[in-house]
Amino acid sequence: MRNLSFITLLIVMVSFSGGLKAQEEQDIFSMSLDELLSLNLSRTGLVTVPHFHIQGEWMLTYKYHRMDMSDIQNATLSLSTSDVLNSYMISPVEMTMNMHMLGAMYGYSKKWNFMAMVNYMDVSMNLITQMNMNFTTSSKKLGDTKLNALYNLGEGYNPQFFASIGVSLPTGDINLRGNTPMGNNQKLPYPMQLGSGTVDPMLALTYIRLNDNASYGMNVSSVLRLYNNSNDYHLGNQYSVSTWYSQIVNSTVTAFVLTDGIIIGDIVGADPELNPMMAPTADPKLRGGTTLSMGAGVNLSLGLGSLNGSLITLQYSKPYYQNLDGPQLEKNGQFSFGLILKK
């Protein structure tokens, strides 16, 4: 909850900074309708949800995302590591995932936008054996690359209703190895692999509505896994729904709240190098589940003029319901930071 407390304090502090400065007012009065709309949409956007850009506009993004996992769950029941070690030789204890994402988006026309994103992943997991030996495995490499085309289903920019059609390209490694108590250069289990190993279609629908100084919206998305990779398995399909409401507080701050729901299917097939009796993380039937989360965040505008529409965004969310095909580590909380530059 420390990150959430920081965000709340930040909202309160900046909210007392006052209204628009005289120069900012002059800049706003000189903007076109498209420019004003683009500014408002950028300030009400979330880290994980794109918005449709006006023709000729570029957006470059850097996003940092951290997710912490600990405690063990089977369905909705909590388990101890001792419970897991009654059935497996190794039990996970905790896991941390850090992602660094670089993206670009371009408003090609009033109907089409294009975007691309590459990411670097840093994943570590602490584990314990039946012999009470603690050890850590880690993976640090590029993840899968995502390409998307967005098509505007409406006639203008407010409301925005657009479809996204894309692919996830298998640039992430699925053959990572590490040293464990079982031996050196062992194949790491599924959560430590950084890609799918397959070309995966991505489909999404997004709705965004502006209303005075507020906005709200919904995003429904899916990632489909259609065939086995070179290691004789494919990840489960992923379906998610996000809703949010945001409010412009003053000339600098926009605050928002959000809800997320995600369903992930179990892995189909199995990597022949992984023994599902060794650890639950090596069992392809224990990778799916349903998670519902709530969160909050702020967008901080960097200014007008040459930085028109650019911002820093902070977001924290925490699950309030998890039903996992376990034994599996629970998600604790997720923190995201973003730097968004528009031109």
Q: What tens digit of pLDDT does each residue of 256-303 get?
A: 999 999 999 999 999 999 999 999 999 999 999 999 999 999 998 876
Q: What is the DSSP string of 122-133?
A: EEEEEEEETT--
**Band of pLDDT at residue 25, cut at 50, 70 and 90:** very low
3-state secondary structure 65-79: EEEEEEEEEEECEEE
The confidence score (pLDDT) of residue 5 equals 43
How many of the other CB atoms lie within 10 Å of CB of 272? 10
Whether the CB-CB separation of 257 and 244 falls below 8 Å is answered with yes
- Rounded Cα distance between 117 and 102, Å, is 6
Q: Which is more confidently placed, 3 or 157?
A: 157
Query: What are the angstrom distances between the C-alpha of 38 and each of 5, 54, 71, 226, 305?
Result: 30, 7, 43, 37, 13
- 9: part of which helix (H) or strand (E)? helix 2-15
- Greatest Cα pair distance, the chain, in angstroms, is 71
Q: What is the mean pLDDT of residues 33-60?
A: 69
The confidence score (pLDDT) of residue 308 equals 60
- Rounded Cα distance between 157 and 208, Å, is 9
The residue type found at 134 is N
Structural domain including 66 reads 2-342
Closest CA to 51 of 155, 164, 136: 164
> Token digits for 9?
């304090």
Collapsing DSSP to helix, strand or coil, 43 comes out as: helix
CATH number of the domain that residue 316 is part of: 2.40.160.40
185-206 tens-digit pLDDT: 999 999 999 999 999 999 999 9
Indicate the number of domains in the chain: 1
The confidence score (pLDDT) of residue 238 equals 98
- Rounded Cα distance between 336 and 58, Å, is 22
